[in-house]
Structure 1
Amino acid sequence: MEVMLIASDRWSCTVRIRREYDDDKGDKHDQVKEETFGKVLANPEDVELAIRRAQKAVLNPGKPAKDFLTYNFDSKEEAASNELQFSRNLVVLEVRGMPYNLTLIDLPGIINSTENEDDTHLIQLIRKVVKSYISKPHTIIVAAISCKNDIDNQTVFALANEVKEGKQRTLGVLTKVDQIEEGCHDGWLGVMQGEKFPLELGYYMVRNSTKVELDEHIGAEEATWREKTFFEESTALQPLRDNKNLSQRLGVPSLIKMLSDILVQKVKQQLPDMKQSVDEQLKKTRTELAELPPVVQEKERADVLQQALRSLDRDAKLLLNAQGCLSSKHFVQRWHAIYEGMARRVFSTRPRFILLDADASGMVEASYGDSKDFDGDDEEGSFPAKLTLGQVKDIVAKERSYELPKFTPYTALQSVIQHFQGMWNEHAFQCLDKSAELLKTELNIIIVKHFGRFRDSHLESIVRLCMEDVVDQQYSEARKQITLLIEMESTERQPPFTLNRHYFEESHCRILERMKAEMCKYQMRGVDQQVLRQDVANALAALARIPGFQGMTQDQLLALKPCNPDVGEELPIMAATMAYFKVSSKRYVDYVALSITRLLYVRVAESIEGHVDRYLKRLSAEAAAGKRESANPLLLMKDGQADAGASRQWQDSEVVLSLVADDPKIAKQRGSLQAKLESLQATRSVLSRFA
């Protein structure tokens, strides 16, 4: 029970019931509910019965509280008729007309056993409740200790020691002091004097009204006078009266004044921190309220849904253009990284040949592509098999028909090129798969942003399924286009082709020179290399004096050496394969990337809003035809056809607009935050007045 004593000229008492907890689950309510129990009391003698009736209402939450306003306690088995034996919800007394302002919370007594085995859970529950209150660092713990009991067995001291600075915040109150047995006063005097169980706030002594006095219904003034008379006349307590400090600690009025003074002192000390804490909570609560979506009024549902669809369309397009926010730039960076990975894997399939000298068993590997030709390293494990000079010879021999000597079959070149194109489709399809997954992930984030508040009504799931439907459709279109590109590049289906002749011819000439130079170096491997380098330098210097030969390189000079007749046909084929790979691979990766961009990313961004709109029209049409009232609208997606029957406008469809109803969870959260805001504002106002 909570008792608020308020200083005023006129006495009155208001009884309230404060429900903070769910009695079944034990969870705290998001919003505290407080109701006034009965009329304002003007007679102190009516308070006890009103409290008992309010407590009865708290222990029977299944019935309205008003049913207990006139309840008669005429049964000895009264407690057995309650729904609950204990509740964390409170009876609150607001007592005006007191000389001091003070708030007291009467906690339940600690128990160590129960008569009924089914009630044993109450032992820990009560301890938990008590500890939750006394753990608060600004709380003063008033320990009521009966002088009829042994102070050594008081559980309150053990609990106080379990919480931070609990002993320093505990004030002892010795009750029933008039019932101390003869010869036992010295022990209690020692407690008051701080010799036993010392507390920083010390102890007070009070005399309780006896049962006879309670039955006589003596008033508060009479009870106070009798208590004062007792302390003045008690011979056993003379040592306390003789002590100037301890004499001020006798009686209820002294106790109340002390508690009031402590309360005022603590409030003054903590007021700046309290105001700062309240201001911070106000700011946080306002921010949380502002972040919640606004309330959706029934007449605004169509506009809210239309606006959400437009926002989805806008953000999807901004995402592809890397506009609007930093996250869209990160998306484009990840998207392009997928393309670059595909390009590296395709470039890693470049032709690699092993050149064999006709007169020796040694080998020279000619590998196409300097580091300047392609960015990044080769992808591990993606190389096609290398071809030796002998294998190329076999291909030429296999393809020969009516060609004259020194004329190479064109089909031999096609076969060699085809050898190095076999893995292109695999790399392109992997790129498409990763691109589709990335797009779905990013669009899901946008969908949650605009439709996440409608999760319970299935609207978010509807939009997500429509998005996935569009992505899957465009994925199929992009895959068809990539398949066509693969067929166009495959020399198995058609001859190699390019209009980029200058690039092809320049590459072919440079690569052929390099291959001839490598074979020449191999053939001269027995020559003194220092002498050879000097002779080559002298030859280049002499040639530089001849018009047209300026700037000739070592490889160009060595390439002038006539080739071995046995490799005269194969080297040009190998050089042409390398040159054509440069042309075709760069062309291929560009068009794969462009196809995915256009057919997947762009088309999806352009189609989502329309696809959802057609789905809602179909849902509206089914509802109008009586096929659907409030059943799960996701069932429409089972056949994957969102367009069927999409002729009816959805803006006036009750079934469609019900999807945009305010989310109950968000409404509950908004109500809880609003109640918290009002409570904090009221607290802030009180603190300002106190200051």
Structure 2
Amino acid sequence: MSQINNISSSQHTKETFNYIRLLNELRRVGAHFIVNIPTIVFCGSPSAGKSSLFELISGIKLEICTRCVVELRLTESVGTWSCQVSLRKEYDENEKRLSRPIETKFGDLINDINQVGLTVRRAQKALLNPTQDNDRYLEWNFNCDELKSDDLDFTKNVVCIEIKAPNVPNLSLIDLPGIIPHKLDLGYCIVNNQTKKQLMEDIKSEDDIKFEEANLVEVEFFEMGESWNSFYSFEKAGINQLQQKLAELLIQAIEKDLPDIRKSVEDKLDEVCRDLESIPMQLSDNSKIEFYRMVKNCSTIIKTETMSSNDQIELWKSFNNKFTQFKKELYVLRPIFSIGCEINTNKKLSTAKFDMLDDFIEDHTIIENSIDQLQQITEAQLSEKISNAGVRLLPGFTPYSAAKLIIQENQAKWKKPAVNCLNAVYEVMLKLVNSSVEKTFSRFPGLIEKECKDLTGKQMDLMHQMELANHPFTLDKQMMLNLKMTYLYSLQQAVKNENKEPSDALEIVALIMAYLKFSIKRYVDNIAMTIIHFLIEEFSKKIEEKLMDIFVHNDEESINKLIKEDDSTKYQREDMLNREKYLKEVLDKIIKFGI
């Protein structure tokens, strides 16, 4: 029976040793920065007896006024007693939390238990003077003015005391300075005295902390200075019972929380990996190769974005909106022809209005709202222009110069809406280019643009000059003839009830209406196609050429300056990579443990 008990005890010791070792490793690599790690914490008012209890559990005399966090790691092992003191830096000199802790050994392995207190005191001295080299304090001799000579009164950084020895409990606990922390990590087991009630109230007041009173281990402190060892005879008192109870609670908390800790680490690792994908890759050492790669990448993005495919409907929706706006601006510049005669009874002119573009715009609200504001060309005005043409005409013939004059007067107004359209599409392109360049060159100062807009503007000027040429022109004579005859019939119908013969003016009106309708539609399409070809498509072709021109005509030093990465991107990437590294390290330790 005794042998069975020994085997059982040995197996339990091994399990607790493994759990405590895992807990210490997780804290060492910074797991407590990202997830809640079960931890026993001593906290309370100054001189409440925390350090005295801490010394009894550890078996060492610290003899310090605790002005930093002290972490004790007890591990049962075979062999002789040994202790290693380390410093874990979790905050910088301005008390800003680091991205991950940095733990370094403070001095050599200690084999004399009487040397631990002085070494811990020196380690705390090093933490309280963060601007100094730690090695300066390895052999430090203290004096009475010690407190005045420190940079800090207190620090959140940690002195770690790792003790390995036979017959010590497998336990890990933390001694806080004499300040009640405002927030505590979920899962802390807290040993406290008179401040327990206040602590519970503080914790419960925090909405984001779940608190279970069962996690508190209440230990009644007797009179200060009274030895805990004097209570060994009581069944539920004494240091041995406390050590056993704390170890049991800590192991239970670790067993219970490890699956949740693993899931939390995995979730945070996934989040960091997603963030890393949005950060540009680190540059290679060869600046020319790097620049070439970025040029190809940028031009590919722009080409892909400007392809009129189902995948890019939003971009082309923006382009088409600008073309539609151009069409509307041109539409409201059209003339309206008023044909009719005066009614003597009311002394008003009863006219029929003819709009050659009534089928040009789908938005009929624009048609209804625009007619009264448009240029009105009356039959009388046309008759006057015919008369001023100074040409003797046989009956049935109309002066071509009068028609040409009215057409060119209208065409002269088309350039402004065309330029407005070019500028509007250019703005959309500029956003696309800036976005594409941002994706590739966002971390670099200055590259790119404008040539294609100027080329497009020149092509549009050429088209406008062709429309304003001396002779209105089309090869589609049949269409012109059909339109003219349709309008002429409508015009004649408007005056037939007046018992008047159709005037020469009606012939000219029909001709002008037919040509303007044809040429406006042609102009709208041609301007849109010019912008698409010379601005949108041509830019996507020339952007790579333009960027490569920078590459060819600059030496390596100049290219290095062009693609010099800004510090914010560099630091962001380094921070993410650092977080990824230690999250993987934490996860690896948990997986290897078997969770």
TM-score, length basis structure 1: 0.68
Alpha-carbon distance change, 370 to 665 in structure 1, aligned in 2, over 3 angstroms: closer
Equivalent residue for 1:586, pick from 508, 515, 521: 521
- CA deviation after TM superposition for structure 1 residue 573, in Å: 1.4
Alpha-carbon distance change, 376 to 157 in structure 1, aligned in 2, over 3 angstroms: closer
* Aligned 8 A contact 1:366 1:515 in 2: no
The whole-number CA distance in structure 1 between the counterparts of 2:357 and 2:467 is 23
Aligned to 1:216: none
The whole-number CA distance in structure 2 between the counterparts of 1:166 and 1:338 is 60
1:605 aligns with 2:540: yes
The whole-number CA distance in structure 1 between the counterparts of 2:581 and 2:170 is 23
Matches within 5 A, 1:156-555: 156-163=199-206, 164-166=209-211, 168=213, 169-175=215-221, 177-179=222-224, 208=225, 227-230=228-231, 232=233, 247-248=235-236, 250-298=237-285, 300-322=286-308, 326=311, 328-357=312-341, 361-369=348-356, 372-377=359-364, 378=366, 384-404=374-394, 407-452=397-442, 454-455=443-444, 458=445, 461=446, 463=447, 466-467=448-449, 471=450, 473-490=451-468, 494-520=470-496, 523=498
> 1 or 2 for the larger relative contact order (CA 8 Å, sep ≥6)?
2
* Aligned 8 A contact 1:358 1:564 in 2: no
Alpha-carbon distance change, 375 to 18 in structure 1, aligned in 2, over 3 angstroms: same
Instruction: In structure 2, list runs of 5 or more residues that go unmatched.
Output: 1-69
Aligned to 2:113: 44
Q: Secondary structure at the match of 1:498?
A: coil
Q: Secondary structure at the match of 1:31?
A: strand
- CA deviation after TM superposition for structure 1 residue 430, in Å: 0.4
Instruction: In structure 1, list runs of 5 or more residues that go unmatched.
Output: 111-126, 146-150, 180-207, 210-225, 233-240, 242-246, 524-562, 621-652
* Aligned 8 A contact 1:384 1:420 in 2: no
Aligned to 1:541: none
The whole-number CA distance in structure 2 between the counterparts of 1:178 and 1:143 is 14
Q: Secondary structure at the match of 2:472?
A: coil
The whole-number CA distance in structure 2 between the counterparts of 1:512 and 1:399 is 21
Identity fraction in percent: 23
Q: Name the amino acid aligned to 2:190.
A: I
* Aligned 8 A contact 1:296 1:660 in 2: no
Alpha-carbon distance change, 101 to 391 in structure 1, aligned in 2, over 3 angstroms: farther
* Aligned 8 A contact 1:354 1:363 in 2: no
- CA deviation after TM superposition for structure 1 residue 281, in Å: 2.2
The whole-number CA distance in structure 1 between the counterparts of 2:405 and 2:553 is 54
The whole-number CA distance in structure 2 between the counterparts of 1:287 and 1:677 is 11
- CA deviation after TM superposition for structure 1 residue 374, in Å: 4.2
The whole-number CA distance in structure 2 between the counterparts of 1:28 and 1:595 is 58
Q: Secondary structure at the match of 1:84?
A: coil
Can you list the C-alpha shifts for 1:477-504, whole angstroms capped at 9, x where unaligned? 32233223223223xx623222211111
Q: Secondary structure at the match of 1:4?
A: strand
Q: Name the amino acid aligned to 1:131.
A: H
- CA deviation after TM superposition for structure 1 residue 342, in Å: 1.1
- CA deviation after TM superposition for structure 1 residue 390, in Å: 2.3
Aligned to 1:80: 148
Stretch moving more, 288-297 or 87-96: 288-297
Stretch moving more, 62-71 or 94-103: 94-103
- CA deviation after TM superposition for structure 1 residue 231, in Å: 6.1
Alpha-carbon distance change, 438 to 23 in structure 1, aligned in 2, over 3 angstroms: same
Alpha-carbon distance change, 660 to 252 in structure 1, aligned in 2, over 3 angstroms: farther
Alpha-carbon distance change, 381 to 368 in structure 1, aligned in 2, over 3 angstroms: closer
* Aligned 8 A contact 1:351 1:581 in 2: no
Aligned to 2:182: 131
The whole-number CA distance in structure 1 between the counterparts of 2:355 and 2:132 is 89
Aligned to 1:564: 500
* Aligned 8 A contact 1:355 1:366 in 2: yes
Q: Secondary structure at the match of 1:94?
A: strand
- CA deviation after TM superposition for structure 1 residue 156, in Å: 3.5
1:59 aligns with 2:138: no
1:92 aligns with 2:160: yes
Q: Secondary structure at the match of 1:174?
A: coil
Alpha-carbon distance change, 389 to 486 in structure 1, aligned in 2, over 3 angstroms: same
Aligned to 1:574: 509
* Aligned 8 A contact 2:122 2:138 in 1: yes
* Aligned 8 A contact 1:54 1:68 in 2: yes
Aligned to 1:675: 578
Q: Tell me the number of residue pairs that the alignment of Structure 1 and Structure 2 aligns.
A: 514
Q: Secondary structure at the match of 1:509?
A: helix
Can you list the C-alpha shifts for 1:528-566, whole angstroms capped at 9, x where unaligned? xxxxxxxxxxxxxxxxxxxxxxxxxxxxxxxxxxx613x
- CA deviation after TM superposition for structure 1 residue 292, in Å: 4.1
* Aligned 8 A contact 2:422 2:457 in 1: yes
* Aligned 8 A contact 1:356 1:362 in 2: yes
* Aligned 8 A contact 1:345 1:427 in 2: yes
Alpha-carbon distance change, 677 to 311 in structure 1, aligned in 2, over 3 angstroms: closer
Q: Name the amino acid aligned to 1:391.
A: Q
The whole-number CA distance in structure 1 between the counterparts of 2:397 and 2:578 is 93
Larger Rg: 1
* Aligned 8 A contact 1:23 1:88 in 2: no
- CA deviation after TM superposition for structure 1 residue 95, in Å: 2.4
* Aligned 8 A contact 1:344 1:376 in 2: no
* Aligned 8 A contact 2:288 2:551 in 1: no
The whole-number CA distance in structure 2 between the counterparts of 1:374 and 1:166 is 68
Alpha-carbon distance change, 2 to 423 in structure 1, aligned in 2, over 3 angstroms: farther
- CA deviation after TM superposition for structure 1 residue 593, in Å: 1.6
- CA deviation after TM superposition for structure 1 residue 662, in Å: 6.0
* Aligned 8 A contact 1:478 1:596 in 2: yes
Q: Name the amino acid aligned to 1:681.
A: K
Alpha-carbon distance change, 686 to 498 in structure 1, aligned in 2, over 3 angstroms: closer
* Aligned 8 A contact 2:332 2:370 in 1: no
* Aligned 8 A contact 2:343 2:350 in 1: no
The whole-number CA distance in structure 1 between the counterparts of 2:577 and 2:201 is 40
- CA deviation after TM superposition for structure 1 residue 21, in Å: 1.5
Q: Name the amino acid aligned to 2:559.
A: V
Q: Name the amino acid aligned to 2:92.
A: D
TM-score, length basis structure 2: 0.78
1:142 aligns with 2:191: yes
- CA deviation after TM superposition for structure 1 residue 447, in Å: 0.9
1:21 aligns with 2:21: no
Equivalent residue for 2:103, pick from 26, 29, 34: 34
Alpha-carbon distance change, 84 to 381 in structure 1, aligned in 2, over 3 angstroms: farther
Alpha-carbon distance change, 77 to 167 in structure 1, aligned in 2, over 3 angstroms: farther
The whole-number CA distance in structure 1 between the counterparts of 2:112 and 2:464 is 97
Aligned to 2:178: 109
